[in-house]
Amino acid sequence: MERTADPNPPSVRDMMENLALGAMLFGTAQDERRSFELLDRFVDAGGVWIDTANCYAFWDDPTGFGGQSETLLGRWLASRPGVRDRVRISTKVGCEPTVAGRFPETAEGLSAEAVKSGIEGSLRRLGTDHVELFWAHKPDPATPLEETVAAFDELVSAGTVGRFGCSNYPVWQIERARQIARAHRSAGFTAVQQHHTYLQPRPATRPTVVHRFGAVTDEVLHYLEHHPDMALWAYTPLLSGSYTRADKPLPAEYDHPGTARRLAVLDKIATETGTNRNRVVLAWLTGGNPAATPIVGVSTVEQLDEAVAGVSLELTADQRERLNSVV
């Protein structure tokens, strides 16, 4: 199919606004040299968003506590004068264990005290006085939504946080929290971060290593379609390499006939575009309705370059329709 030229094609920076570099394993599985190399390459390519959390990566550190990712990012920012003005930091609070080896039962939660101490610790480790986006990492059933919303609003009012979002939340809590914010004329959630990718798990199953309510469902998409002020961020968009790597088989929940059908169409589009499954998935996410910002966790420069190429790929309307129509 012949592609019609866009009279106002997006700039490289515009396209890179739609990609976030996941720093979850920086400072633990990824050593400082490799982490700095990836961060430098990301910024050189026009990358803007870097995503982390105060609990990263407690499960991969001998102490049983997190903070390693933010600490490494702080060292990188300090060693690169001027780069803080070129990047936007996204971090989270709510999942850091308070007792080593006892997660999730001792997760810090989202009380006003936990939110306040969480951002203070994050800013200290990052070596900055603000973050552009602060997330409630997962719901806290022990804390009223009113308390959490008020705590986040204080940070926005103080200029410590640009805006805030929620991750792994059920739709009803997202809407309830936004109602509370409207009633109090305070800042509210403007972004949601969930697991989102092209393949769909077998019904009545949950993707591996995803929190309850953490996967994007049709209900989530429907909500976002009707609330355009809410941004969608997608974690684990490439299924940890399962789309392209033989040594990374798809998890069992994707073993159903729908997966074979979707992969067949994905392969056809990859052939037509001269790319591969990963790039098509990222293009599908960033150009969807609603559009998503994929968070890519990479361990090599080659993987990062592929992610950049993916968000730069433009699918035709016909290609997108074929991808969307598979059931």
What per-residue confidence (pLDDT) applies to 16?
86
- The residue written with tokens 């991969």 in the block is 60
Domain boundaries, the chain: 12-325
pLDDT digits (tens, 9 = 90+) for 82-109: 999 999 999 999 999 999 999 999 999 9
What per-residue confidence (pLDDT) applies to 11?
58
* Spatial distance between the Cα atoms of 312 and 309, rounded to a whole number of angstroms: 5
**Mean pLDDT for the chain?**
94
Q: CATH classification of 12-325, choosing from 3.20.20.100, 3.40.50.1820, 3.20.20.140, 3.40.30.10?
A: 3.20.20.100
Over residues 39-67, the mean pLDDT reads: 97
pLDDT reading at 55 higher than 70: yes
Q: DSSP for 180-206, please give it.
A: HHHHTT---EEEEEEE--SS-PPTT--
Residue 137's closest CA among 112, 160, 105, 164?
A: 164
Listed range (136-145, 176-185, 207-216, 280-289) with the worst mean pLDDT: 207-216
* Spatial distance between the Cα atoms of 127 and 321, rounded to a whole number of angstroms: 45
* Spatial distance between the Cα atoms of 35 and 43, rounded to a whole number of angstroms: 12
Half-sphere exposure of 254 (CA within 13 A, CB side): 18
| Percent of the chain clearing pLDDT 90 (strictly above) | 91
pLDDT reading at 10 higher than 70: no
pLDDT tier at 210, thresholds 50, 70, 90:
confident
DSSP 110: S
pLDDT digits (tens, 9 = 90+) for 232-241: 999 999 999 9
pLDDT reading at 2 higher than 50: no
What per-residue confidence (pLDDT) applies to 1?
33
What b/e sequence results for 225-237 when a residue is b if at least 16 CB atoms lie within 10 Å of its CB, and e otherwise? Answer: eeeeebbbbbbbb
**Are 199 and 257 a contacting pair, CB within 8 Å?**
no
The tokens for 323 are 């991808």
Q: What are φ and ψ of residue 72, in 5° steps?
A: -65, -45
Is omega for the bond preceding 204 within 30 degrees of 0, making it cis? no
Q: DSSP for 305-325, please give it.
A: HHHHHHHH----HHHHHHHHH
Q: How far is CA 144 from CA 111, 139, 180, 212, 259, in A?
A: 8, 10, 11, 19, 40
pLDDT reading at 43 higher than 60: yes
DSSP 31: -
Instruction: Quickly count: other Cβ atoms within 10 Å of residue 31's Cβ.
Output: 13
pLDDT reading at 269 higher than 80: yes
- Residue spans of alpha helices (H) in the chain: 12-16, 32-44, 68-79, 112-126, 145-158, 171-183, 218-225, 257-273, 277-286, 301-312, 317-325
What per-residue confidence (pLDDT) applies to 95?
97
Q: What are φ and ψ of residue 99, in 5° steps?
A: -130, 125
| Percent of the chain clearing pLDDT 70 (strictly above) | 96
What b/e sequence results for 107-144 when a residue is b if at least 16 CB atoms lie within 10 Å of its CB, and e otherwise? Answer: bbbbbeebbeebbebbbebbebebbbbbbbbbbbeebe
* Spatial distance between the Cα atoms of 42 and 25, rounded to a whole number of angstroms: 16
The tokens for 19 are 């990609």
* Spatial distance between the Cα atoms of 286 and 304, rounded to a whole number of angstroms: 16
What per-residue confidence (pLDDT) applies to 13?
65
pLDDT reading at 8 higher than 70: no
Amino acid, res. 184: H
**Are 157 and 204 a contacting pair, CB within 8 Å?**
no
* pTM exceeds 0.85, yes or no: yes
